Amino acid sequence: MSTLSTLKVDVIQRLEIWPVDIPITDPFVVATGARLTAENLFMRVTLRDGTQGVGEAAPFPEVGDEDRTSCLAAATELARTLVGQSVTDYEVLADRLTEQAPLHPAARCGLETAVLDAYCRSHAIPFWQLWGSADVRARETDITIPICSLEQTLELSRS
């Protein structure tokens, strides 16, 4: 038996989180305030074999009560529970993140995306293939439309 086959290379060895400010081209205005900069977090998972996966948390306090400070605190605490875990168990890890931080969806999303990205890269598959195949069906989603002109509102609601 080779040594490589007994070594768990898909184990999370390190998880890094850092803030990034992203200028917003058009101010995002809602009733509780305006946002000119997205105060996000980037996250990078590094596996034992060196494979890396990335994710982004985009907290938006005007809509979800999660700001960068609370998101960073939650993500940092959650990251501690992910180190040493196998990315192959991504579904179990996602459930665990939800149980541990139900009020921090941005933090969970960034971490889960980084874990899934690392998993896909370690298995040499495109991210979309994780769920079987390309699916181009129209999706229904929600969007927060900022306070803006009638023309902009209509354009955003159609896209």
CA distance 109 to 31: 25
List residues bridging with 19 in a β-sheet: 41
Q: What type of residue is 147?
A: I
Contact 119, 47 (CB under 8 A): no
Cα 22-24-26 angle, rounded to 5 deg? 175
How high is the pLDDT of residue 133?
Answer: 67
List residues bridging with 21 in a β-sheet: 39
Scanning the structure block, which residue is given the tokens 């889960």? 112
How high is the pLDDT of residue 4?
Answer: 43
How high is the pLDDT of residue 135?
Answer: 64
Task: Read off the pLDDT of each residue in 10-23 and give the average, rounded to a whole number.
Answer: 96
H or E segment and range at residue 151: helix 150-158
Least confidently predicted of 4-18, 48-62, 104-118, 129-143:
129-143
Instruction: Give this prediction's pTM.
Output: 0.81
Q: What type of residue is 108?
A: R
How high is the pLDDT of residue 156?
Answer: 80
- Indicate the pLDDT class of residue 2, thresholds 50, 70 and 90: very low
What are the structural domain ranges in the chain? 8-129+141-158
Q: Give the model confidence (pLDDT) of 98-125 as tens digits.
A: 999 999 999 999 999 999 999 999 999 9
The two structure tokens encoding residue 59: 């907290």
Order the strands of the 52-57 sheet from edge to edge: 12-30, 33-47, 52-57
- Indicate the pLDDT class of residue 8, thresholds 50, 70 and 90: confident
Q: If you count DSSP H runs as helices and E runs as strands, how many of each does the chain have, helices first? A: 6, 3
| 8-129+141-158: CATH architecture | 2-Layer Sandwich (3.30)
